[in-house]
Amino acid sequence: MSDEEVHVTGDLGDTRSDGPGATSGDGESGGSGVSRGTGPGGTTGGRPIATLPAARLDDPHMQASARYPRRVEGIIVVFFLLGIAGIAAFGVAYIENASTQVYAVTLFVGLFCLGFGITAWGKYLMPQGPFVEDRHPLASSDEQRAAMAAALVERTGVVVKRRKVLGGLFLGGMGIFGVVAAFPLIRSLGPRPGSNLFTTHWKRGTPLVDQTGKLVHRTDMQVGGVLTVFPKGWQTTTTAQAKDQVVLIRVQPTRLTTRKGRGTWSPDGYVAYSKVCTHLGCPVGLYEQQLELLVCPCHQSMFDVRDGCQVVFGPAPRPLPQLPLRVDSTGYLRAQGPFDQAIGPGFWERTTTGNGPASRTEKPT
């Protein structure tokens, strides 16, 4: 047999048109179910294409149940009917504004049964082969490759290299276009960071308010109490909340470890720390009252509230920055000044100064 003979582009011929030999390997199936034809029937001798066969019973890939095509056909009919009923029921459910569960079960029955039916049809009643298709090498001949490379090299040599000025000008123009286009595309997306990452709205004397704008009085909280506070006037703006949020906690003053330079920062045992985690910026929203630890729910960094919010566990690299507090003449809490460092997670421009007590070597007194 020559190569031309064996392409699969010959037809999926009716392999089922059996002589006795067709089932010789399989005595039990005999002639039963063998003569089931599909397609329009291959009667006209002059036709170029044969009818599609039902699957050969002795094909290696055949499944056992295809020996009984009638039974398979019956099962598929049942699935198709179920599928049609399911899709119709989904339509009715939609019109009747039924529940999500009813939608889901009707849609599932409809789609799955239709899908199962047609898959079974393909698997058991359509030609399985195995058929063979030849794999033709994609690679070209050496001459063709050489011709392509030659065309690239020689034409470039002739056309471009003799006109270096033109080539340079064109490439230069495209390069400049790239830069010019990149500027509006990228630069206009947002402002430069500038000093934004280093500042908050906490200034000298800013009153502390809760999210509703209520001022915080020195008698408002018991020891163990915790409150999220904002600089007055910025408590409702999302952008401001995102970086100004401060967690205010009242602890026993005697239990506080006061670090150098922070002696006056925690009047009456009120301590205030940036609520933005120094790891990835999540709100440090859990307060473990017994251990007096602030816990970040995202990656479980734990900060010791009694000791400048030093990291005692987890991936956070720095303590939470502390906001210096004072009590004003009317008994309300105010900020002594801004944070002494950038709040939140680390970034390239963050300076080493003001890293908080963890980076300092001196021991608390």
If one asks whether residue 344 binds another protein (CB under 8 A), the answer comes out as yes
Torsion angle defined by CA atoms of residues 302, 305, 309 and 315, in that order, rounded to the nearest 10 degrees: 0
Q: Which is nearer to another protein, 80 or 332 (CB)?
A: 80
Residues of span 141-160 touching another protein by CB under 8 A? none
Total interface residues for another protein by CB under 8 A:
112
Cα 305 versus chain centre, distance: 35
196: tokens are 């934004």
According to the binding rule CB under 8 A, does residue 21 interact with another protein? yes
Q: State both tokens at 16.
A: 């089922």
Q: Which of residues 113-142 bind another protein (CB under 8 A)?
A: 113-123, 126-135, 138
17 counts as binding another protein under rule CB under 8 A: yes
Which parts of 77-116 interact with another protein (CB under 8 A)? 94, 97, 100-101, 103-105, 107-116
Contact 261, 292 (CB under 8 A): no
355 lines the binding site for another protein (CB under 8 A) = yes
197 vs 215, which CB is nearer to another protein?
A: 197
CA–CA distances in Å: residue 231 to residues 61, 140, 206: 75, 73, 6
Rounded to a whole number of angstroms, the minimum distance from the CB of residue 33 to another protein is 16
Q: How far is the CB of 23 from another protein (least distance, A)?
A: 9
Exactly one of 57, 89, 208, 316 binds another protein (CB under 8 A); that residue is: 316
Spatial distance between the Cα atoms of 315 and 325, rounded to a whole number of angstroms? 28
222 sits in the region (left: phi over 0; alpha: psi -120 to 50; else beta) called beta
Nearer to another protein, 228 or 257 (CB): 228
Least Å distance, CB 219 to another protein, is 24
Query: Any bridge partners for residue 215, and if so which?
Result: 209
In whole angstroms, give the CA distance from residue 340 to residue 319.
Answer: 12
Residues in the chain: 365
Q: Does 281 bind another protein (CB under 8 A)?
A: yes
Asked if 27 is part of the footprint of another protein (rule: CB under 8 A), the reply reads: no
- By CB under 8 A, the residues from 45 to 74 that bind another protein are 45, 47, 50, 52, 60-61, 63-64
Which CB, 119 or 264, lies closer to another protein? 119
- Give the interface segment with another protein, choosing from 21-29, 149-157, 172-180, 258-266 (CB under 8 A): 21-29
Q: Which lies closer to another protein via its Cβ, residue 158 or residue 182?
A: 182
Residue 315 makes contact with another protein by CB under 8 A: yes
Q: Which residue from 27, 348, 362, 363 is in contact with another protein, where contact means CB under 8 A?
A: 348
Closest distance of CB 165 from another protein, Å: 36
Amino acid at 142: D
Binding track over 176-195 against another protein, x by CB under 8 A: ----------xx-xxxxx--
Q: Is 13 helix (H, G, I), strand (E, B) or coil?
A: coil
Closest separation in Å from C-beta 32 to another protein: 17
245 binds another protein (CB under 8 A): yes
Give the DSSP letter string of 299-344.
T--EEEGGGTTEEEESS--SPPPEEPEEE-TTSBEEESSS-SS--S
The backbone region for 229, taken as left when phi is positive above 0, alpha when psi lies in -120 to 50, beta otherwise, is: beta
Is 3 among the residues that bind another protein (CB under 8 A)?
no
Q: Does 263 bind another protein (CB under 8 A)?
A: no
Contact flag: residue 241 with another protein (CB under 8 A): yes
DSSP-based three-state secondary structure for 57: coil
Amino acid making up residue 225: G
Helix H segments across 156-199?
164-182
Our finding on whether 321 is near another protein (CB under 8 A) is no
- Number of C-beta neighbours around residue 65 at 10 A: 13
357 residue type, one letter: P
